[in-house]
Amino acid sequence: MCEKDYKSTKIATHCYSKAKDSPPAQQQVLLQRGFGALRTSYEALIIFDMFNEVVARFDERISFGRLRDVRIDPKLVDEIINRMEVLSQYIDAHLHSDTYGSVKPTPSTLLDEIKAFESVRQRQRQLKKTTDAPAPRNEAQPAPAKPAGDNAVPSPIQPSELVSDPPVS
C-alpha cells in the first residue's frame, strides 16, 4: 500500500466491516488494524490536506509554491492531536501500562472514530475552500543594475583582494 491509499477511511472501514461478524480473537486483530489504518489516515490528512504536500516525505526538495495553499485551524489541530491520542490506546504500536491496561475496543468504537476522522477531514477541506484567496504573488525582481557612470563592466580583481591559501604545516 502507498501513502495515498490512506487519504480516505477505506482501509479502516474494511477492517470495521470484517470485524463486526468475526469471533473475538480475530475481531481484536481486525480492530487493531483498523485503528492503525485510521491513525495512518490522520498522518496522510496532515501531509496531503493540511500541509498540501509542501514537504513530501523522503523527497529531496520542498514544494514551496504550495505554501500559499496551506490552511491550518488551531482548533482542528487540537482535535487531531486528541483523536491521535485516543487511537493510540487501541493499537499495539504503543506499550500500554499494566496498571491501566489496554482498552478493548469494539466495532462500534472503530466506527465512531471513522466518523470523527471523516468530520475532521471534511472541515479541513471546507477550510481550504472558504479561506480568503491567497494574497497576490510578489514576483521576484532582478537585482538593480549599476548606474552607467559607475563603470558597468566589473573591474578585474586586484592582487590585494585575493585570498591566499592557508599555510600547510
C-alpha–C-alpha distance, residues 76 and 123, integer Å: 8
Q: What's residue 92's pLDDT? A: 76
What mean pLDDT is predicted for residues 96-122?
Answer: 84
With vertex at residue 156, the alpha carbon angle to CA 155 and CA 158, rounded to the nearest 5 degrees, is: 115
C-alpha–C-alpha distance, residues 43 and 115, integer Å: 16
Confidence of residue 147 (pLDDT cuts 50, 70, 90): low
What mean pLDDT is predicted for residues 91-109?
Answer: 72
Domain residue extents for the chain: 3-132
Q: What is the pTM of this model?
A: 0.68
Phi and psi torsions of 55, nearest 5°:
-115, 110
What mean pLDDT is predicted for residues 145-165?
Answer: 58
Judge contact between 49 and 124, C-beta under 8 A.
yes
Q: What's residue 135's pLDDT? A: 46
The answer for residues whose C-beta is within 8 angstroms of residue 29's C-beta and 6 or more apart is: none
pLDDT digits (tens, 9 = 90+) for 41-97: 999 999 888 888 887 767 777 777 878 888 889 999 999 999 999 998 888 765 556
Q: Is the pLDDT of residue 148 over 60?
A: no
C-alpha–C-alpha distance, residues 87 and 39, integer Å: 6
What mean pLDDT is predicted for residues 8-30?
Answer: 94
Judge contact between 58 and 2, C-beta under 8 A.
no
Q: Is the pLDDT of residue 3 over 50?
A: yes
Q: What's residue 41's pLDDT? A: 95
Exposure string of 94-106, with b = 16+ CB inside 10 Å and e = fewer, is: eeeeeeeebeebe
